[in-house]
């Protein structure tokens, strides 16, 4: 029991150490001097996440963020699914959303990756180092790409026993980015039977339905044939 506790402590501090190596300035600025995050400053920290935060702000102001997102420093349009725009947001908690949430999930991501490494095997340590310090991983952590959240949710799905909860989570993350919909095939891993096949087909059908209903071109072309009630 004590050895497992020591290993978890080691993994935790290794996660923080790796994060500091990837992004040392974030702790220096926001934890040493407690500098507030400024809307006017260039959004260089966690740039892939701040565009989502700015889109949520502009949506509250009535903008169509898929066409125009003036709340973002570079006016980047929202390119992810609409479900992200419905996340709860408050301007009074700007630092929480813009700084602390990305830091928490980045550290959680590093912790999860490190906790799956057997440090007694040299080859696994080498693979871990190559993975963490690869350009793709460094960029994902630096910008806090939404794929980090998707990865963590997919990992959670792997540990869930309930097919219902698996199906719900797959649908939710597939509404943020489409590729997680492919993971619905996990329902067929334990054999193709009526129950597993039904969960697979329901997940795919539900994702497809929401994508169609959320598409403006589809709405305009489909609903124009419906009789008007005016």
Residues 6+ away with beta carbon under 8 Å from 21: none
Given a contact cutoff of 8 angstroms between Cβ atoms, the answer to whether 196 and 187 are in contact is yes
H-assigned helices in the chain: 2-22, 24-27, 47-60, 94-95, 101-115, 122-132, 135-143, 146-159, 163-174, 194-213, 216-223
pLDDT higher than 70, residue 129: yes
To the question of pTM greater than 0.75 for the whole model, the response is: no
Residues 6+ away with beta carbon under 8 Å from 52: 78, 80, 84, 146
Q: Structure tokens of 189?
A: 């891993």
Q: What is the pLDDT of residues 166-215, one digit of tens each?
A: 878 888 888 888 777 776 666 555 555 566 666 667 666 766 666 665 55
* Spatial distance between the Cα atoms of 173 and 210, rounded to a whole number of angstroms: 12
Given a contact cutoff of 8 angstroms between Cβ atoms, the answer to whether 26 and 45 are in contact is yes
* Spatial distance between the Cα atoms of 202 and 206, rounded to a whole number of angstroms: 6
Residues 6+ away with beta carbon under 8 Å from 23: 141, 142
How many other CB atoms sit within 10 Å of the CB of residue 215? 12
Domain boundaries, the chain: 2-158, 160-230
* Spatial distance between the Cα atoms of 44 and 3, rounded to a whole number of angstroms: 40
pLDDT higher than 70, residue 98: yes
Given a contact cutoff of 8 angstroms between Cβ atoms, the answer to whether 60 and 89 are in contact is yes
Q: Which residue has the tokens 């939404």?
A: 146
Q: Structure tokens of 119?
A: 């440090």
Q: What is the pLDDT of residues 151-178, one digit of tens each?
A: 999 888 888 887 778 878 888 888 888 7
Q: What's the rounded mean pLDDT across residues 219-223?
A: 41
Given a contact cutoff of 8 angstroms between Cβ atoms, the answer to whether 166 and 158 are in contact is no
Measuring CA to CA, how many Å separate 12 from each of 86, 108, 111? 32, 9, 6
- Sorting pLDDT into bands at 50, 70 and 90, what band is 141? confident
Q: What's the rounded mean pLDDT across residues 115-135?
A: 79
pLDDT higher than 80, residue 139: yes
């Amino acid at each position: 029991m004590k050895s497992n506790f020591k290993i978890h402590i080691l993994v935790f501090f290794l996660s923080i150490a790796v994060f500091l190596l990837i992004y040392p300035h974030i702790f220096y600025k926001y934890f040493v001097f407690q500098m507030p995050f400024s809307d006017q400053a260039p959004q260089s920290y966690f740039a892939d996440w701040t565009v989502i935060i700015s889109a949520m702000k502009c949506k509250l102001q009535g903008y169509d963020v898929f066409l125009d997102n003036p709340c973002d420093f570079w006016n980047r349009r929202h390119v992810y699914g609409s479900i992200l725009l419905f996340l709860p947001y408050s301007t009074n908690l700007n630092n929480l959303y813009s700084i602390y949430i990305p830091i928490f999930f980045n550290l959680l991501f590093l912790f999860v990756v490190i906790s799956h490494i057997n440090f007694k095997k040299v080859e696994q340590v080498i693979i871990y180092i190559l993975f963490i310090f690869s350009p793709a991983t460094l960029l994902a952590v630096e910008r806090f790409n939404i794929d980090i959240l998707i990865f963590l949710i997919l990992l959670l799905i792997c540990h869930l026993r309930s097919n219902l909860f698996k199906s719900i989570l797959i649908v939710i993350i597939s509404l943020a980015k489409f590729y997680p919909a492919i993971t619905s095939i996990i329902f067929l891993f334990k054999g193709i039977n009526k129950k597993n096949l039904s969960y697979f087909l329901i997940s795919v059908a539900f994702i497809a339905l929401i994508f169609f209903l959320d598409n403006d071109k589809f709405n305009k072309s489909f609903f124009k044939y419906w009789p008007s009630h005016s």
